[in-house]
Chains A and B, each alone.
Chain A
Amino acid sequence: MSIAIRDGVIMIAGHCPVEEAEMLLVALLENPGSGVDLSAATRLHMAVAQLLAAAKPPVVAAPRDAFLRDMLLPALFHLDQ
């Protein structure tokens, strides 16, 4: 399972396919204000990424994956919209 709640932090890990968007949405709705830990995420589906962009939860730990860290993260969390 790549989406989990641990100590009030939404942990997103590994490869998150489109099916996990719903799981993330539930997690975001049920834990308003909680941070996300992306350190173990390797691949996010656009459906998952656009939820993060819409909710903009605080990022507790950045992904180690280069594309996610250098390209996606700034794009998702920049207030450019």
Chain B
Amino acid sequence: MNYFADSLLAALALISSFDPAIYRIVATSVSISLIASLIAACLAIPCGVTTALNSFRGKKTVQHLLNTLMAMPTVVIGLLLYGLFSRLGPLGHWGLLYTPSAVIIAEAILIFPIMMNLTITAVNSADPRLKPTLISLGASPFSLAYHVVSVTRFAILAAVITGFGRAIGEVGAAMMLGGNIEGFTRTMTTAIALETSKGEFELGLALGILLLLIAFILNFALSWLQGTKS
């Protein structure tokens, strides 16, 4: 008990002392996840809105595929991208392995199906009269999508936040593709795994607390958005 309590106190001391090593890791983690979320959102929102607003052959298959990809283990994505980015892989000459870019790509791929699926759900949950109303008022396909996104923006933002939450908590692909290099690709989750294995429980715990804090802030933002929507 003393061990845990002492470690917790030491972790809190590390956080309150604004230890630069800890906050560098937090900054790396947040920046990688933010960029990954931004890239995924830029692709997933248009794809999700287009899928939701149009009927086409294979639409159900697309949704089944997205549901499957949402449950895909992160290490599988890490493994596949490792094969692509490793020196002998087809994209090895890009030199992306063990760089933040590789982690960003992996996280963006990981959260794309989540964001796209939740965007489809967000658009489908809009009032069923919205689309026919806009069409009858003369909306072009682009302005239809624009106004649908505008009406469902809180639900779509919730999809982006959920994706960000998934990205910042990701460990498997970040470890395999980033290599956990200090000050470069070391994220909060990979640092926790490393520090705990080294016996540096306090540092791991401090990062764990900060990760929980970020998760709490995200959930708070989600609840606020849902409250605003309703």
Our verdict on whether A and B bind, yes or no, reads no
Where the two chains meet, the residues of B that have a C-beta atom closer than 8 Å to any C-beta of A are none
Where the two chains meet, the residues of A that have a C-beta atom closer than 8 Å to any C-beta of B are none
